[in-house]
Amino acid sequence: MEFLMYYASFATAGGVVSTWSLWRPAMNWIKENKPESMINRFKWLNGTFFFIISTICAPAMIACLAYEDRFIESFIKSLLKKDDEK
């Protein structure tokens, strides 16, 4: 049971760090460069999903944080893909 408590705190901290270091800069870029994007209207929902997924996948997010610039670039491209299809 003690292991789960340590893992839960590690995962939650990983989710917070990933959201702050990866999601927030991507959203700031989208807000500045593509203000008409659909992503801006549902920012809170997108952030909630990102936090939940990054908390669940906390050990894998270490690799994303190591290659932060590449991840943010790919993340922005995937978020804006739906807008580009219009």
Per residue in 50-83, pLDDT (tens digit) is 999 999 988 888 888 889 899 999 988 888 886 6
Stated pTM of the model: 0.80
Instruction: Please answer whether residues 7 and 59 qualify as being in contact, where contact means their C-beta atoms are separated by less than 8 angstroms.
Output: no
> Which letter does DSSP use for residue 22 in this model?
I
**How many Å apart are CA 4 and CA 82, to the nearest integer?**
38
What is the average per-residue pLDDT within 24-46? 89
pLDDT higher than 80, residue 85 = no
